[in-house]
């Protein structure tokens, strides 16, 4: 009844030529002298990256790497869903669905899929093997634009439960970062009989108190961290306010200017100032591959809609889940354990001084080790 169609990325050369021509015609706005990143993305940094994108970046090599993983599409609730499905050679592997966030794509996972699915070949214990399912969020990349309203976190989680059912997985783990850190626990809430455990990084719902009364429940240290997070978010949340209120207005610019789309995504990828961030720098080709996927599929605007579709949950504490939950808190992540415990059954919490918000790109080895260690406790 439910077709799972094999999928292969094959971008027309004309689309790549058009992209380079548009990059060559970028109109630069100029910037104030000496302001660096304090007013937004630094033009000198962006211009250098645009030139690399136009002249040196090789889409075909990244296309080929993505095509080295088995890919499929299916339709769930009138929405096309694209996903990687990489089965482990180990017969006893644990099924695991992993979810990216914004402004990412499944390309974020190219360095973790091998170690997760075949630990024996990567110096690990075969008992830690996973069958990996990595969907593209609805509206992102090869899942294509969303055609209807309502594709927020809860609906995506329900779609993931249906996807795993179609693949024949009755018991599985869930992992995710950024928006994936919201979708994965929600999957546990709606399918607790199927989800054996949830592992998250870049936990997005535990940095700032949802209710002023929550601060009183925290230790002095956690309360101070939550207050610092609140002040930091106030100064850097303009992108989220725009996408959660008027994403369509933004979509026209993102869909028409590749340099503009890169600037919009880049601010988050480089943590606002690559010269001061404590996070591990992200390889610029990884950034460009994510942005190129958005550009080639015309989904920058539809990806932005995820913020509006999920906005009804902003500022509200999620119902507490009883699913065992592991949290990996990397450099730059603001998750506060006391806040996380109000909504999650935390059974493992690990903090790292390195890596960053996009851990699968910035610290893939640490992330894989943490995922393995968490699910090892549930076997």
Active site (catalytic) residues: 178, 307, 357
For every residue of 330-373, DSSP letters joined together read -TT----HHHHTTTSEEEEEEE-SSS-SSHHHH-HHHHHHHHHH
- Residue 5 parent element (H or E): strand 5-6
Distance CA 242, CA 234 (A): 13
Quote the crossing angle between the two packed helices 284-297 and 300-309, to the nearest 10°: 90
DSSP lists the bridge partners of residue 76 as 79
Bond from prior residue into 103 cis (ω within 30 degrees of 0): yes
SS3 state at 315? coil
Residues 6+ apart with CB under 8 A from 38: none
Distance CA 57, CA 18 (A): 14
Distance CA 82, CA 89 (A): 23
Q: Rounded to an integer, what is the distance from CA 273 to the centroid of its chain? A: 20
In sign, the C-alpha dihedral spanning 19, 23, 29, 33 is: positive
Task: Please give the DSSP secondary-structure letter assigned to residue 303.
Answer: H
SS3 state at 159? helix
| Sheet containing strand 324-329, strands side by side | 5-6, 71-76, 79-86, 130-135, 94-99, 172-177, 195-201, 324-329, 345-351
Phi-psi region of 30 (alpha: psi -120 to 50; beta: other; left: phi over 0): left
Burial of 120: CB neighbours in 10 Å, binned 0-12, 13-18, 19+: middle
Distance CA 160, CA 174 (A): 10
Distance CA 335, CA 368 (A): 19
Q: Tokens standing for 346? A: 């935390």
């Amino acid at each position: 009844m439910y077709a799972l169609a094999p999928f292969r990325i094959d971008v027309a050369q004309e689309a790549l030529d058009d992209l380079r021509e548009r990059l060559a015609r970028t109109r630069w706005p100029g910037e104030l002298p000496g302001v660096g990143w304090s007013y937004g993305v630094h033009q000198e940094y962006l211009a250098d990256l645009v030139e690399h994108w136009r002249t040196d970046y090789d889409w075909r090599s990244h296309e080929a790497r993505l095509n080295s993983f088995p890919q499929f599409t299916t339709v769930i609730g009138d929405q096309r869903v694209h996903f990687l499905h990489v089965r482990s050679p180990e017969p006893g592997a644990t099924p695991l669905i992993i979810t990216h966030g914004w402004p990412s794509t499944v390309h974020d996972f190219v360095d973790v899929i091998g170690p997760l699915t075949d630990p024996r070949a990567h110096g690990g214990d075969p008992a830690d093997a996973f069958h990996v399912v990595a969907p593209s969020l609805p509206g992102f990349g090869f899942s294509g634009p969303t055609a209807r309203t309502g594709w927020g976190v809860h609906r995506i989680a329900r779609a993931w439960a249906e996807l795993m059912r179609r693949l024949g997985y009755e018991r599985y783990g869930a992992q995710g970062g950024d928006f994936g850190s919201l979708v994965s626990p929600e999957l546990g809430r709606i399918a607790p009989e199927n989800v054996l455990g949830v592992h998250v990084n870049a936990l997005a719902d535990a940095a700032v108190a949802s209710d002023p009364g929550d601060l009183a429940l925290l230790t002095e240290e956690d309360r101070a961290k939550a207050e610092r997070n609140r002040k930091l978010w106030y100064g850097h949340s303009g992108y989220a306010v725009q996408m959660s209120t008027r994403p369509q207005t933004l979509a026209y610019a993102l869909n028409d200017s590749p340099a503009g789309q890169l600037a919009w995504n880049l601010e988050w990828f480089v943590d606002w100032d690559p010269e001061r961030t404590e996070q591990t720098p992200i390889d610029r080709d990884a950034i460009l591959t994510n942005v190129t996927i958005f550009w080639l599929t015309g989904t920058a605007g539809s990806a932005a809609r995820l913020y509006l579709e999920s906005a009804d949950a902003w500022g509200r504490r999620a119902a507490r889940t009883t699913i065992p939950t592991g949290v990996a808190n990397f450099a730059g992540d603001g998750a506060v354990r006391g806040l996380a415990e109000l909504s999650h059954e935390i059974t493992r919490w690990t903090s790292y001084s390195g890596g960053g918000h996009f851990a699968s790109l910035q610290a893939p080895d640490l992330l894989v080790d943490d995922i393995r260690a968490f699910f090892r406790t549930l076997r």
